[in-house]
Amino acid sequence: MSTQNAYASERKSKPADDEKAIDMVDRRILSALSKNGRLTVAELAEQVGLSSSPCWTRMKRLEARGAITGYAAIINAKEIGIPEVFFIEITLDHHDGDSLERFGMLLADMQEVLEAHLVTGDYDYLVKVAVTSSEHYERFLRNTLYRVKGIRHTRSTFALRTLKHTVSVDPLMVART
């Protein structure tokens, strides 16, 4: 899913109260798909203990309500020549709704930005950036990020290595709490 689509889905309306709640079978479906989005309906149904038809119906309902937002290949960035990850803490000059909305949309359009979060604390945004080299990162800063009006301060941190990388939450976590 592209960053722009993720940004837009944040503003998507929630399901109506009368929609069926997500139960444990739905959570097992979500968990299985989060580990392998290429499962056939028959394979998924077998894993969660359903026949194919009810499994397919539940999948379509989960997609329609927005619990499943898409299916994607997970790319090994190092393998394709994009080995460097930086985190940028960004503080803006203004914090009104229009400024935050505009800045969020600009971040969503930046190719190097993998994730952008509006946060609480000493800075306003935490942004994850993937680049080919430190030179590429400098170009990104000078030619893209620093050209955005309204940035008061940034601080960068270079990731030495990734210790954990998960692309989806564990839907069964709720059942364990």
Give the CB-side neighbour count of residue 140, counting CA atoms within 13 A: 23
Burial class of residue 107, CB neighbours in 10 A (0-12, 13-18, 19+): buried
Query: What pLDDT band is residue 16 in, cutting at 50, 70 and 90?
Result: low
> Is the model's pLDDT at 4 over the cut of 70?
no
> Is the model's pLDDT at 84 over the cut of 60?
yes
Predicted pLDDT of residue 142: 98
Mean of all residue pLDDT scores within the chain? 91
Q: Read off the pLDDT of each residue in 48-67 and give the average, rounded to a whole number.
A: 98
Residues contacting 35, CB < 8 A, separation 6+: none
pLDDT tens digit sequence for 90-143: 999 999 999 999 999 999 999 999 999 999 999 999 999 999 999 999 999 999
By the 8 A CB rule, do 148 and 83 touch? no
Predicted pLDDT of residue 73: 92
Predicted pLDDT of residue 122: 95
pLDDT tens digit sequence for 22-39: 999 999 999 999 999 999
User: Beta-carbon neighbour count of residue 44 at 10 Å?
Assistant: 21
pTM here is 0.83
Pairing of strands 125-131, 113-118: antiparallel
